[in-house]
A and B are shown apart, each in its own frame.
Chain A
Amino acid sequence: MSQAQNRPKVGLFATCLVDLFRPSVGFSSAKLIEEAGCDVHVPIAQTCCGQPAYNSGDTKDTRDLARQVIEQFEGFDYVVAPSGSCSAMLKKHYPDLFKGDPLWEERCRRFADKVFELVSFLADVRGMSQVKARLDKSVTYHDSCSGLRELGIAKQPRQLLATVEGLELKEMAGSDVCCGFGGTFCVKYPDISGKIVSKKTATIAESGADILLAGDMGCLMNMAGKLKREGSTIEVRHVAEVLAGMTDGRPIAGSGK
């Protein structure tokens, strides 16, 4: 962790799902951010961005959590999260929560300007056009909804994946169609979520790829869980793991049937 003067300081917002379920995504993200010429900091008190409360209509608790995140991260040059939906929460929805608040509106806007989703940060902010990684497998990439529609993330991950040596991208049909996760939706309406994710796993299988990638742990856990329930051997990983060349560990939900 070099501390050169001109290296921007990046606060890594790991997201609660990465923190609890997939630490390797946190380490992959840190590696990539460093390769992009930045210093990585992980505020140890970070918890959750507040989406479960926000999407359940609980704005008071959401504001409390938002203030907590802003206080922990506003001192960094950038705030980066390996998730489209958590980044969009910090960048697009936090400002909505503090509209008209004399103390927090401006403070929140300044914070939100510094927030980026990981792959978009690497490609759009740091101008990364090449990664140092190798993977002799075929992959298919699912566009998670928030990253795609709220932050415009679609070509960046594909461009960087194209520079992974040995990797072949096999697009699935309807890669921009929701996987049925939807946060609390997937447990509030499991039957409907199950129907949507089973259509998704069918198109994933049809792509013929060895590995499924995406940029959001929620979607990945949903799709991986369904693939494994169906007995699929397709491996599932976060896109950061592949871009960082850190694919030695166990895939999400394990490997094999």
Chain B
Amino acid sequence: MQFTAPQFKDNAARALADPQLQKALTNVEKGFIGKRAAAVAALPEFDALRDKGREIKNHTLAHLDLYLQAYERKVTESGGHVHWAESAEDARRLVLDICQRVGAKTVTKGKSMITEEINLNDFLFEHAIEPVETDLGEYIIQLRGEHPSHIIAPAVHLNKEQVEEDFRRVHTHLDPERDLTAPETLLSEARQVLRKRYFQADVGITGANFLIAETGTSVIVTNEGNGDLTQSLPKVHIVVASIEKLVPTLEDCSQILRLLARSATGQDISVYTTFSTGPRRTEDPDGPEEYHVILLDNGRTAMLGSEFQDMLRCIRCGACMNHCPVYHAVGGHAYGSVYPGPMGAVLTPSLFGVDISGHLPNASTFCGRCESVCPMHIPLPKMMRHWREREFEKHLNPATARYGLGVFAFIAKRPRLYRMATAIGARLLNLIGGSKGRITTLPFASGWTSIRDLPAPEAQTFTQQWAARQKQGA
């Protein structure tokens, strides 16, 4: 995808002015929040599970090298292959090599944010291999030439009418008079079209929600079953996953699974939870002949041991963006990066550099709702602040902001000067506010007054008035 995080402000302005998008975004607030709350309320041990989940992931990250080796050994034992990719380029190349070796023309894909992160689809197209997204949301946005605006609901920025329009535009072999008004008709049409693609595909590519070291298993959760068809019908299954997906044991995976769907969609568990261990064995009725896992680093080992390590606990449930007022206002595309919302605001600078993604950790009110719903207790606002610190250290924030901050700090550290400045400020603003008690425009404060009035102060500050009263009383 095109990286437009530096243009966040323009992206946001466009998003705010887009009535279709604004309508679609109300579904995020209406849909996810209540369902998650109900699922959490129905599970008394939810908070205990969160603590347990954090503990499992922290332990895994502390011994990640060992668990990765153990995992590789198990995958190999079961007849699969593990490939190590340090960069996005390495991962793309590894996928292409496998596809070309087996002469693949078409690959089906289950939903995978990692393949979005490494921009795999464009790369495959360039090499004459057609990737076909099979998750309904992903399929829709692929038709539109877009990228996911949400990590679990990739097409949440669209309305039903837009999808109908796209289907009519692309599915030209179907009756133009067909009725597509009900959402189910769109679903069944996508199913019908995709069904053929599953059988044509030479390679199936999925992501992984978990990789289990104990058994060498990759795990995906879906609600449509598309992942199962993607990975079991073609002769080759490639899993593209990042290294922090590791968990030590099946039991650990089960514990975190209990958090995942509840946090994401408010389901107790996703409709399909699929465990894959190696290629088809002789006694299996079906399955791929080859099973490959491409393990992507792409900046993650650099996060280990840094103040951003906690971010590697993320299980990609999307709860943070579902509860984020900024995400609700502008949607996922405005962030201009593969990962939107609060988790993206922390992860994007780690993966792509804070010099070009500085807006993301700044565009937060620090309301803390993301952290309060994160199933893995990731301190998202704190880590966004760490990025702001890095920016400040490297002088990456705008000169005007630095200057303003410098003046503020200079005065605030000198109480006498501060008293004088605030006394003058109070008097002045009080005069401007006049009898209405508010100010509608103010030079140098257009950031405030473009949106709202500025309440005017009384003519004297609190400390002035307090000191005067103390004197009278004495």
Contact = CB atoms under 8 A, between A and B. Distances in A.
B453 A229 contact: yes
A217 to B, nearest CB: 9
Contacts, number: 219
Contacts of A59: 389, 392
Contacts of A22: 455, 457-458, 462
A166 interface: no
A197 interface: yes
B460 interface: yes
Given A48-B412, A65-B412, A229-B452, A20 B385 contact: no
Interface in A98-152: 145-146, 149-150
Contacts of A177: 325, 369
A225 interface: yes
A143 B366 CA distance: 14
Contacts of B368: 145-146, 149-150
A195 B331 CA distance: 12
B144 interface: no
A226 interface: yes
B365 A254 contact: no
Interface string A11-55: 000101011111111110010000000000010111110101111
A178 interface: yes
Interface stretch (A73-81, A157-165, A185-193, A204-212): A185-193
A178 B455 contact: no
Contact of A192 (B12, B413, B415, B433): B12
A191 B385 contact: no
Interface string A207-242: 000000000000001101110110000000000000
A192 B330 contact: yes
B451 A196 contact: no
Given A182-B364, A191-B16, A250-B437, A225 B453 contact: yes
Contacts of B467: 44
A53 B438 CA distance: 27
A8 interface: no
Contact of B451 (A14, A27, A199, A229): A229
A95 interface: no
Interface size class of A (residues with CB under 8 A): 35 or more
A interface majority secondary structure: helix
Contacts of B436: 254
Given A56-B405, A145-B365, A149-B368, A189 B12 contact: yes
B329 A197 contact: no
A194 interface: yes
A253 interface: yes
A57 B422 contact: no
A189 B401 contact: no
Nearest to B451: A194
A30 B466 CA distance: 10
Interface string B416-442: 101100100110000001001110100
Nearest to A220: B455
A54 B412 contact: no
Given A20-B422, A26-B462, A196-B325, A187 B448 contact: yes
A56 B329 CA distance: 22
B285 interface: no
B401 A188 contact: yes
B450 interface: yes
B473 interface: yes
B274 interface: no
Nearest to B417: A47
A181 B453 contact: no
B350 interface: no
A183 interface: yes
Contacts of B387: 57
Contacts of B408: 48, 52-53
Nearest to B434: A254
B20 interface: no
Contacts of A24: 458
B462 A23 contact: yes
B325 A65 contact: no
Given A19-B462, A145-B369, A225 B329 contact: no
12 contacts: A20-B461, A23-B457, A26-B465, A42-B463, A48-B408, A56-B401, A185-B366, A188-B401, A189-B12, A221-B455, A222-B452, A254-B455
Q: Give 4 nearest A-B pairs by CB, closest first.
A: A182-B365, A254-B437, A187-B447, A225-B452
